[in-house]
Structure formats: C-alpha cells, structure tokens
Amino acid sequence: MELKLSELRESASEFAKAGGDLTLNYFKKDYRLEFKNDDSPVTNADREAESVIRKLIKEKYPTHGIIGEEFGSENEDCDIVWVLDPIDGTQSFIHGVPFYTTLIGILVKGEPKVGVIYAPALNELVSAAIGEGCTLNGKECKVRRCDHLDKATFLTTEVSTFEEYNHFDAFKELLGKIRLHRTWGDAYGHLMVATGRADIMIDPILNIWDAAALLPIVTEAGGSYTDLNGQPKIETGNALSTNNVLKDHILPLFETK
C-alpha cells in the first residue's frame, strides 16, 4: 500500500524529536568532540542521535532507504529514502548556541517531498509535505511579505564560504542592498525564512543531508527554495531561501559572480 505523505510527515516529526531531544542530554554539558577528515566537528551527540533515528526508521519502515551524515547510505535506490542530519549546526551546538537543529528530509522517487526542522533547545518544530502546507509547532506558517531588498533581513552561516566558493562579490553587493545581516544561520536560518522572521537565507555550500528537508519547508511556506542558479534542486551544493519577489532581485547578483 502506498504511503501517504501525511503519514511520513508525522513519522518524520516524531523521529526528529526523538533524535533531537537526545542531544539535549549533551547540550551545554559534557560531550566528546572529534574532527572529521574535512576538519568539520562531530560529537557523540551527533552519532547517538542519528543512531536513534535510524533505529526508528528501520523498525517502522524496514524497506526504506536511508542517507545520513554520520553513518552513510543504506538502500539509497529505494523509492522512499530518508535523509538525516542529526545535528545541523554542530558549531552552534558545541558553543552552546541554541540554533542547532535536527533535520529529516524524505525523498520519494528522488524528489524531496517531506521536510522537518527541529530545534530541540528552542522547542521549535517546523514540518511540511508537498501539497500540505508548512507548520511551526502545529500552526500554519508563511514566509514574510517583503518586496524590496532595502527592507530585508539577510541571514547566512559563515561569511568566508562566499569567498571560498567564488561568490564574495555577489555577497558584498547584496550586503549593500539589504537592511540587516546576521549569521549563526545553518538550517535555522532557513527555518527563520519559512516562519516569516527573516527574508533571505543563503548557504554557498550544502550537502544533501543539509538540504533535503529545506525545499519542502520553504516552498510549502509560500517561499522559494533554489540553488544559486535558480534551480529548485537539493543536490547542487548551495541554496537560497527567500520569497518569490526577492528571489528575482537576488539571483541576478550571482549569475556572473
């Protein structure tokens, strides 16, 4: 029997809470910190949270595939694949900043159809399924109406990544046009856009486990989620979340940068 997106969304929310709440056992407390080969940080909280989520998926949906940041892929050619990031924003986590999140995206035949962003330290859970809208803690949420860059709030994660990926000129130009710029972004920045608390979030570098949850959430909140070439893709390595008016002002800045 074909699963409904509403059921998958409900399960993804449940599993994200289970994994995310486990991280609270370590947040602002003792944890083990290591560094991966790419020098990115990872903690025992990341690994334990992903293990919990994987166990729950396998118990309820044993035939589904899984892609996870910490433990790799299983059955990724399945029609339904769960994409996991147990702690998005590990730098926030290790610095005691509550903007880290647990992410679950669900791909159906390769297309992102369900997304959950759970911020356990803030008790905020945003979920969406294509065609079903987007909610924050069960209440409908929408992107903010903002028609001009000079009134917009622009978020990102780390400024140096714009230079590293050859977007620094575009970043500087955008910075000169907007009202306010803030960092500590990661997936929480995209959550801020989807819930109407910010207008622009740009990530010059993303992995699929960072991105899979974001597209359903931002689009179902009435916004636009694309890569920096304007394509609604999760695998191209960067992302812009905004509303459909500002998108047309932002993307041209990145065309030849």
Predicted TM-score (pTM) of this structure: 0.96
Phi, psi of 93 (to 5 degrees): -55, -50
Half-sphere exposure of 113 (CA within 13 A, CB side): 18
Angle in degrees, CA 237, 21, 103, rounded to 5: 15
pLDDT at 256: 57
* Tokens 């960067």, located at residue: 238
Q: Is the dihedral of CA 94, 95, 98, 100 positive or negative?
A: negative
CA-CA distances (angstroms) from residue 53 to 46, 130, 206, 219, 235?
Answer: 11, 22, 21, 25, 22
pLDDT at 14: 98
Report the C-alpha gap between 54 and 71 in whole angstroms: 9
Give me the helix-helix angle, 168-175 and 247-254, nearest 10°. 140
Task: List, for the chain, all residue ranges whose pLDDT scores fall below the cut of 70.
Answer: 1-2, 256-257
pLDDT at 257: 44
pLDDT at 1: 43
Pick the closest to residue 100 from 122, 68, 84 (CA basis).
Answer: 122
pLDDT at 3: 80
Pick the closest to residue 85 from 130, 40, 129 (CA basis).
Answer: 40
pLDDT at 39: 77
pLDDT (tens digit per residue) in 213-222: 999 999 999 9
pLDDT at 38: 79
pLDDT at 170: 97
Query: How far is CA 65 from its chain centroid?
Result: 19
> At 163, which amino acid appears?
E
pLDDT at 40: 86
CA-CA distances (angstroms) from residue 69 to 114, 134, 168?
Answer: 18, 25, 27
What is the set of domains in the chain, with CATH numbers?
5-140 (3.30.540.10), 149-254 (3.40.190.80)
Report the C-alpha gap between 198 and 146 in whole angstroms: 10
pLDDT (tens digit per residue) in 189-210: 999 999 999 999 999 999 999 9
Beta bridge partners of 128: 115, 134
pLDDT at 255: 84
